[in-house]
Chain A
Amino acid sequence: MSLIRRNPAHEMTKWGHEFPAFRGFESLRRDMNRMFDEFFRGDISVEESFFNRDWLPAVDIAENNNEYIIKAELPGLQKDDVKISIENNILTIRGERKNEQEKKETNYHRIERSYGMFERSFAVPGTVKTSEIDAQFKDGILTLTLPKAEETKPKMIDVKVK
């Protein structure tokens, strides 16, 4: 069992700075899991097996006046391999990429692509209409569109100069 590299401070800066709404939630959850594991079992390694996360897909997040757009790179996966859920304003993307070829008479020259389970969670701002989140999956990219509630969109107010 290897040690886990963990740097919540980095994650906070990365997401906290540019997209305060989408601050990485993983570090907090990991902290909570660590706390529970230590409390009940006194065994930190349980944390790793509990999470069983082998790779962390890259994610781009953008925002415009009407919506937030999350794009996750999930090459080699199909629609049914990915599960998206939202609970308590926490959006979670999880799934698994299986290593499809485990044949005999095979020489592996390079294995750089990640396989296994993944999970990424994001704290979604309260201004998102969670019932209208749209998900599309194409060419290994998962695109989530999170529409903003009407009242939070920027408005132009005409000021008449007399």
Chain B
Amino acid sequence: MTNEISKSTFTIVPAVDIVETPHTYVVKLDIPGAQKEKISAAIENNILNVSAVVERFNDDQESDTVKEYKREFSLANDVDVSTVDAEYENGVLQITLKKKEQYLPKQININ
């Protein structure tokens, strides 16, 4: 059965928590019901772009709708974009961004 025509899409801005620790930024987004393959996270020009597509009910239901989660974040200068880690668990996408070496807190010992 082909029913792609009757599917409507609506865009959702997922809720986010952004928490900074001395060495990292942790970004958590609520994206319930997504499949890992349908989530994308990418960094381009210091902008973190997150998107995901979620079917509201089943694929075989004709009047189904598609939810599209989308959100962009402009990253601070101290983020090391070369080592980004993303994890999807229990409907939450967690992205961990490390800080660049030169921005890390240092202890300076007195000789």
The residues of A with any CB-CB pair to B shorter than 8 Å are 60, 62, 64, 69, 71, 73-78, 101, 103, 105-114, 138-141
Contact = CB atoms under 8 A, between A and B. Distances in A.
Given A113-B16, A140-B90, A75 B57 contact: no
Given A71-B57, A101-B19, A141-B91, 9 more contacts: A71-B56, A74-B91, A76-B92, A108-B19, A109-B20, A111-B17, A113-B28, A138-B33, A141-B33
| B: contact size bracket | 20 to 34
A105 B22 contact: yes
B57 A112 contact: no
A114 B19 contact: no
6 A-B pairs closest in CB distance: A140-B91, A75-B91, A140-B32, A109-B18, A107-B20, A112-B15
Contacts of B74: none
Given A62-B57, A69-B57, A140-B32, A76 B90 contact: yes
Contacts of A113: 15-17, 28, 30
